[in-house]
Amino acid sequence: MKHILRSQDFDINFLDNIFHSVNSMMAANRPQTMRGKVMCSLFYEPSTRTRLSFESAHLKLGGSVIGTENAGEFSSSVKGETLEDSIRVISSYSDLIVLRHSDNNAAERAARVSLCPIINAGSGTGQHPTQSLTDLYTIKKRRGMIEGTSIAIAGDLKHGRTARSLAYLLSKYPAVKIYFVAPDELQMDQDLIEYLISKGVHFGTFDSFDPIIGEVDVIYQTRLQRERHGKENHHYNLDITAATIAKMKSGSIVMHPLPRNEEIHSDVDALPNAAYFEQAANSLWVRMALLDYLFK
């Protein structure tokens, strides 16, 4: 049984396979790999893109969908049922479970007891591996390659799971340079930094775009994860405007997993560098390719 739990578990061969089949997902005669299969989308945290693109992907591949977008309220978790017990039962009704949860270890906990594959659709401040597949695909599509990409990953890196999953995935490609741009108190956690060191990845940490803005091919911007801050009140300004873009190399791009707040101004949207809505659109085809790969 193949679970999708963490992005460092993907290998380059697997990634190539997924990326190669994306175009065939867009074709009218796409495979109907999920016919007769039931996907449960089990979301304990809010979602727009991840849930709807997974559900659409599964439907387009011929499958059916059950689930709840607010499992914290509309499931037996209200009655005190553990995640493990819920998964034991739901996995006996489903052929796969797409799970989003506030616990960093939720996907691993679910996989331990599940009767069907678990796909991690975002676990606390831990990981969001299928978002990083979309992110990488978008870089490849826009730049033609991932090797040699110089990228600034910016924002609330301490609490943002998409930034972590993307850094793990990029570390698999040669000559990648990763610059983490965040205020000190929201910088990338040490465990990931140590992972990059152990893999010999070129990286740096900064609290402003200024030192690297003219060098990077990609800015991967993220929002302040206010809902994960408790009583702390963080403020910083790493906003990207059309004036920021003017300092970037020609052909460089700006990405964002969305939702965005004020960290990318709307004057960027119409610029050719803006790749974030395309990135969100790509997630449908990439998730179809992933489901097809896992179940064919």
Residues that bind ligand NCD (CB under 6 A): 49-50, 122, 128, 131, 161-162, 222-223, 257-258
260 to 113, 175, 215, 280: CA distances (angstroms): 35, 29, 24, 12
Of these residues, 30, 58, 100, 164, which one is catalytic?
100
37 to 20, 60, 71: CA distances (angstroms): 24, 12, 21
To the query of whether residue 35 is one of the catalytic residues in this protein, the response is: no
As a whole number of Å, the CA-based R_g of the chain is 19
Kindly tell me which of 66 and 258 has the beta carbon lying closer to ligand NCD: 258
Residue 260 CB, nearest distance to ligand NCD (Å)?
A: 8
Of these residues, 51, 60, 109, 128, which one is catalytic?
128
To the query of whether residue 287 is one of the catalytic residues in this protein, the response is: no
To the query of whether residue 100 is one of the catalytic residues in this protein, the response is: yes
Which 3 state secondary structure label does DSSP give 179?
strand
Report the residue number whose CB is nearest to ligand NCD: 257
Residue 256 CB, nearest distance to ligand NCD (Å)?
A: 9
Kindly tell me which of 31 and 118 has the beta carbon lying closer to ligand NCD: 118
Residue that is written with structure tokens 């499958």 in the block:
63
User: Would you say 11 and 172 are in contact if contact means Cβ atoms under 8 Å apart?
Assistant: yes
Of these residues, 50, 125, 149, 244, which one is catalytic?
50
Residue 50 CB, nearest distance to ligand NCD (Å)?
A: 4
For residue 233, which of 190, 181, 185 has the smallest C-alpha distance?
185
Residue 235 CB, nearest distance to ligand NCD (Å)?
A: 17
State the number of CA atoms in the 13 A half-sphere of 244 facing the CB. 27
For residue 136, which of 99, 97, 171 has the smallest C-alpha distance?
171
Residue 206 CB, nearest distance to ligand NCD (Å)?
A: 21
Other beta carbons within 10 angstroms of residue 52's beta carbon come to 14
| 196 vs 5: CA distance, rounded Å | 19
2 to 28, 49, 67, 115, 218: CA distances (angstroms): 28, 23, 21, 11, 31
Q: Which residues are tagged catalytic? A: 49-50, 79, 100, 128
